Amino acid sequence: LSRARRVVENAFGILATRFRIFHTTINMQPSKVVDVTLACVALHNFLRKKCRHSYTPVTSLSREDTEMGRIVPGEWGQDSVSKNHFQGLQVSSRNSTNIAKESRLEYVN
């Protein structure tokens, strides 16, 4: 494979590992699929920036060994990596506040 194709396939593979919506056909209009994809990319980049060591440990991503001229595969394709995203996050109530509900209704209309 060309390097460009390998990079694109790795990027999509990482997104699919992190966001399960990419594991099946997305039943939406194409413009909405673009929005969902961009939102996932933005969230992924945010988490990489803010939680680098827990979200993407050094061994999770593939890297190029330039001295040996080979690709060292990362663990991103293994399901165990994708199960640890939210480990250590504080669990909170699932009930929305009234202000949040009102804001949501305002934006829907």
Q: How much is the pLDDT for 81? A: 45
Give 33's DSSP letter.
H
Give the whole-angstrom CA distance, residue 6 versus residue 57: 21
CA distances from 15 to 55, 70, 104 (A): 12, 23, 27
Quick check: helix, strand or coil at residue 92? coil
pLDDT tens digits, one per residue of 42-65:
999 998 888 877 777 666 666 777
Q: How much is the pLDDT for 39? A: 96
What lies within 8 Å, CB to CB, of 44 at 6+ separation is 14, 15, 18, 19
pLDDT tens digits, one per residue of 6-34:
778 878 888 888 888 988 899 999 999 99
Q: How much is the pLDDT for 31? A: 93
pLDDT tens digits, one per residue of 51-102:
877 777 666 666 777 787 777 777 666 654 445 555 666 666 666 677 877 8
